[in-house]
Every structure is written in C-alpha cells, then in structure tokens.
Amino acid sequence: MFTSTKSILVAVALICVGISNGICQTTKPKPLVTDLYTADPSAHVFNGKIYIYPSHDIEANVPEDDEGGHFNMRDYHVYSMDNINGKVTDHGVALDIKDVPWAGRQMWAPDAAYKNGTYYLYFPVKDKNDVFRMGVATSKSPTGPFKAQPAPIPGSYSIDPAVFTDTDGTTYMYFGGIWGGQLQRWATGKYNKALKTDLGKDNEPALSAKVVRMNKNMLTFDEPAKDVKIIDKNGKPLLAGDHDRRFFEGAWMHKYKGKYYFSYSTGDTHFLAYATSNSPYGPFTYQGTFMKPVTGWTTHHSIVEFKGKWYIFYHDVERSGKTHLRNIKVRELMRKPDGSLEMITP
Ligand code: FUB
C-alpha cells in the first residue's frame, strides 16, 4: 500500500510540471525557436495573431562580465504564431544595428506597439559613448522591416522598454535595469559613469523602474520619466537590500479587471515578482513572486491575453546551457479567483 501510494506520488510529480488552481499542468514548455538563440520575448496580439519581439542572442566571444558585455546582440527577428501550440514563423531580420546610425553595440530586449496604422519597435542599444539609450523604429507591418529614427528618443536611458497602451488609448513606457542596464548611473538625474555598482545603501529605498507617457506620435516622451514606486502592504518602499523583492530589470505591465499589474525580474535572486495598483503610475503594492528561477542567470518575461486565456512568454537556457545563449518559451499564466498570480515552477 505504502509503495503504491509512493509510486503514484512520484508519477504525479514527474507528470505535473506545475500545479495551477489545484490542477496538474502536464505540458512541459519547449523552446519556441530552435535554429537561433532568442531571449526577452515581448509578445503582443495584433489582428488576432501573436507576434513575438525577442532579443537575438549570438556567440560573440566576449568574455562574461557583471555589465553583461557578453550579451552583444546585433539584430532583431520578429516571430508570429496563429495559435499558442501552433507553428512559429520567423519573419527574418526586422532591424539590424548597422541601420541605426547612432548605435554602438548591444541590442538588448525590445518591445513593440501599434497605433493608427503604424507599428513601433522600441529597442535599447548603447550609443557610441557606451551609454544605453532607447531607439524607436517604424513599419507598416508588425513583422517589419523597421526603419529606425535617426536619433534615440530624447531623454531616454537604461534598458528593457515595455510599452503598454491603456484602455483609454494612452500609451506608457516602463523601463530600466540596474547593473549592466545602467539605471544606477542616472540616480541623480544626470549620467554618472562612476556609479557602476552603487545601488544605494541596503536600508534606503531601492532604485525604481521608470514610467513615462508617450506622445501621441509614439516617437517621443510626453513628460519627464517618473519612478515606479513599489511599496509593501504597510505602505513602506521596498529597500535596496531586499534583493528577493526589489526591482532589478525586465518590467512588464498588464491590466486585469481594471487593476494594473507591474511585473519584473528580481535579477540576482532570479525571481519574477509583481505589484499592483489602481493607476498606471502606481504606487504599486508588492504582491509576491510568481515564477521561480529558470535555468540560466535570470529570465525576462511578457504577459498577454489570447483567445480568453493569459500566457507568459519567458526564456531559459535549456538548449545551450550558456547564460548568453537563451531560448524563448511560453506557458499559460494561471490566477486565483481574487486575481492574484499562481506560482510557476519552471
Ligand atoms: O538580453 C539582455 C538583457 O538580459 C536584457 O535587457 C535583460 O532584461 C536580461 O534579460
């Protein structure tokens, strides 16, 4: 009896790749792309189809360092899917670094948006002074090719743009990343190259991601960027020393039943965490982590609704086992009846 119960438990543990709403999830997500390395998938639904805007990882033979020099990407591909479990189509190079006149190196995590007949690709890349800036490129097609504006978005800095259009049509960009993402270098409002690792004292408020309203033309910021404040349930800001909960990089915004869900990576502690608010500007109340560490240094995600279900796109290093050669995946995102996110165990 004991042995058979034990065998059943072992079998269930092997079959279930996650438990959601008490339901065993049995499908182990597979890399969506197997001929290139892809990461940081920003997924959107345009015209009833899923479009994915990832980073395109390459082996550039740059030694690994704390500033992410080994992530030396040079172009973007766009992918589409008619269905979550359907074929993934590669639409080829959508934008190449050689076609961005001001770019120096390292094309990192992009995002995309649509407004009034035009698709916008937002991308962080270091300029010729090695400072991350945000570029924007346009196309009449969601798959590009995209034509870059001749200069970065004025006032832009750091990495990981996540562009969210609210139900009233207003578009916001959330962005930022510490360490290699350079957010700490802008702590005083001006770029300070010396602030390589200075993230503030452990008992001071953590550095915040930024949020900014986009102009109607989608090419410029409509206001100075503001802090995305994350507070705990007592109204206190998360502290710099709170590595399990504070913002590191990889912001995403989605709205569910009128609530704004700001989700992000905790970086060096490797979780995905989220905080909620009644306003796109926050402050956001920390709710918890919702994804445990993946294989690889960290993950970067997006959340999208498609045909009445919610999905999370993310990456790990299943294919290569190497930090800088990642592969994107998708799985269903489950919620509890109160809207809180179920924990994902990759
Ligand atoms: O892909 C380069 C960087 O790695 C991204 O900008 C971060 O979010 C992390 O995924």
**Alpha carbon 161 to chain centroid, angstroms:** 8
Given a contact cutoff of 8 angstroms between Cβ atoms, the answer to whether 147 and 137 are in contact is yes
Ligand 1: does its nearest atom lie under 6 Å from the Cβ of 57?
A: no
Ligand 1: does its nearest atom lie under 6 Å from the Cβ of 316?
A: no
> Residue 138, class by beta-carbon neighbours within 10 Å (0-12 exposed, 13-18 middle, 19+ buried)?
middle
Residue pLDDT, tens place only, 164-212: 999 999 999 999 999 999 999 999 999 999 887 678 899 999 999 999 9
State the amino acid at position 29 in one-letter form: P
Which residues sit opposite 162 in a β-bridge? 174
Ligand 1: does its nearest atom lie under 6 Å from the Cβ of 108?
A: yes
Identify which of 105, 108, 111, 266 to mutate to test ligand 1's pocket (most ligand atoms within 8 A of the CB): 108
Residue pLDDT, tens place only, 109-138: 999 999 999 999 999 999 999 999 999 999
**Can you give the pLDDT at residue 17?**
54
Residue pLDDT, tens place only, 82-97: 999 999 999 999 999 9
Distance in angstroms (rounded) separating the CA atoms of residues 266 and 245: 6
- Please tell me whether residue 273 adopts helix, strand or coil conformation: strand
pLDDT at 294 over 60: yes
How are beta strands 88-96 and 111-115 bridged, if at all?
A: unpaired
Name the token pair of 263.
């989700």
State the amino acid at position 139 in one-letter form: S
**Can you give the pLDDT at residue 199?**
80
Distance in angstroms (rounded) separating the CA atoms of residues 240 and 246: 7
> Residue 141, class by beta-carbon neighbours within 10 Å (0-12 exposed, 13-18 middle, 19+ buried)?
middle
Of the two residues 15 and 126, the one the predictor is more confident about is 126
Compute, in degrees rounded to 10, the torsion defined by CA atoms 306, 310, 316, 319: -50
pTM: 0.94
Work out the pLDDT band at 1, boundaries 50, 70, 90: very low
Of the two residues 66 and 207, the one the predictor is more confident about is 207
**Can you give the pLDDT at residue 27?**
72
* Per-residue buried b or exposed e for 309-335, using 16+ beta carbons within 10 Å of the residue's own CB: eebbbbbbbbebeebbbbbbbbbbbbb
State the amino acid at position 342 in one-letter form: E
Angle 205-208-213 from CA coordinates, rounded to 5°: 145
How are beta strands 230-231 and 249-256 bridged, if at all?
A: unpaired
- Please tell me whether residue 268 adopts helix, strand or coil conformation: helix
Average pLDDT over residues 21-31: 70
Q: Which residue has the tokens 């009034």?
A: 116
**Can you give the pLDDT at residue 26?**
60
CB atoms within 10 A of CB 159: 27
> In angstroms, what is the span from residue 142 Cα to ligand 1's centroid?
22
**Can you give the pLDDT at residue 19?**
52
Residue pLDDT, tens place only, 40-59: 999 999 999 999 999 999 99
Average pLDDT over residues 296-321: 98
Contacts of 168 (CB under 8 A, 6+ apart): none
Query: How far is it between the farthest Cα atoms of the chain?
Result: 72
pLDDT at 7 over 70: no
Nearest to residue 292, comparing CAs of 344, 255, 252, 335?
344
| Poorest-pLDDT segment among 11-15, 183-187, 295-299 | 11-15
Average pLDDT over residues 130-157: 98
Domains of the chain as residue ranges with CATH: 6-332 (2.115.10.20)
Average pLDDT over residues 254-277: 98
Ligand 1: does its nearest atom lie under 6 Å from the Cβ of 159?
A: yes
Q: Which residue has the tokens 């279930």?
A: 16
pLDDT at 277 over 80: yes
> In angstroms, what is the span from residue 10 Cα to ligand 1's centroid?
36
The answer, yes or no, to whether the previous bond of 31 is cis (omega within 30 of 0) is no
**Can you give the pLDDT at residue 4?**
44
**Can you give the pLDDT at residue 6?**
44
**Can you give the pLDDT at residue 21?**
46
Given a contact cutoff of 8 angstroms between Cβ atoms, the answer to whether 119 and 113 are in contact is yes
| Poorest-pLDDT segment among 5-9, 92-96, 128-132, 230-234 | 5-9
Distance in angstroms (rounded) separating the CA atoms of residues 59 and 249: 23
Given a contact cutoff of 8 angstroms between Cβ atoms, the answer to whether 332 and 311 are in contact is yes
Given a contact cutoff of 8 angstroms between Cβ atoms, the answer to whether 264 and 249 are in contact is yes
**Can you give the pLDDT at residue 25?**
59
